[in-house]
Amino acid sequence: MMRCPGLFKILFDSILNENDKLADPWCMILCNISRQEELVEEVLEEFDRDPQKLNKLVTCFTRIGFNKAGCNLHYIGPTFSNFSQSAKGRSMICDREKLYFQRILPFVEFKDSIIRRGGAVGLLKNVCFDSTQHHWLLSDEVNVLPFILLPLAGPEEFEEEDNEKFPIELQYLSPDKEREDDPDIRKMLLECLLQLCATRSGREYLRLRGTYEILREYHKWEVKQGVECKTTLLACENVVDVLIRTEDEIGQDNLKHMQIPEEVNKQLEKLDLLNDENVPQ
């Protein structure tokens, strides 16, 4: 384990100082350190020692222009994603009273920085992989679905009946509405939807709110994006395959509890390997 209390003090003092000219390099260092799972826990211990430190870090990230010395602090975004690799990190960020997650969530559509936007989506994906958070994510307290679907939605017009299904944020979008242009971010958003399909309640929630209809139009658009988006297209099809099936056909409340035959498991592993080879490093 890396024990660097002195380094962490310098690092956080710089990032949390609105007048520090070196805040961006220190953000990158924190991001790099927290990529390693074993080091994430050590960083999180800093927040145990000073509970206000995480609140201050979230404030730095969510208050655009916080740093007055020209630093943008974008790398705090992927740092939050790194924190959420850990169950402890997810618990801290998803604190029901502190509202850290809800404060970070709007940055999934931050157009000015793919680093900041990708970090917010990475955090969202990691939290969605934690099925214990699903009820909370889909509750009015978070209302996560519009944040996932809006970047995948385009300018297509829908029938009145379909529009009435959608969350209000997705109703009657403008003719110039653009989709997320980064395929890796689109893939992460689709993976969020697939995770939310794990339980029957999640699947029914998504169906009732027009998720299939949004993905139907998205799929038509994604097909035209070229071979480099093959894995993103597959991620969309994986979600649609679940949503179009009836619950009788699925026959399982929680898909994560299903026993997968060994032969099928090997095929899935091969598919994952092929997908990984096509993802840009």
pLDDT tens digits, residue range 3-26?
666 889 999 999 999 999 999 999
Q: For 175-198, write each residue's pLDDT tens digit.
A: 999 999 999 999 999 999 999 999
How is the chain split into domains, by residue range?
9-129, 145-255
Residue 216 has pLDDT above 50, yes or no: yes
Tracing tokens 């604190």 back to the chain, one arrives at: 95
Q: Long-range contacts: 39-48, Cβ < 8 Å, 24+?
A: 39/1, 39/2, 40/82, 40/83, 40/85, 40/86, 40/89, 41/86, 41/88, 42/1, 42/2, 42/3, 42/4, 43/8, 43/83, 44/83, 44/86, 44/88, 44/89, 44/92, 46/8, 46/12, 47/92
pLDDT in tens, 102-123: 999 999 999 999 999 999 999 9
**DSSP reduced 3-state for 199:** strand
CATH T-level topology, domain 9-129: Leucine-rich Repeat Variant (1.25.10)
pLDDT band with cut points at 50, 70 and 90 for residue 228: confident
The answer on pLDDT for 268 being more than 50 is no
Q: What's residue 269's pLDDT?
A: 53
pLDDT at 74 over 80: yes
* Alpha-carbon span 278 to 204, nearest angstrom: 32
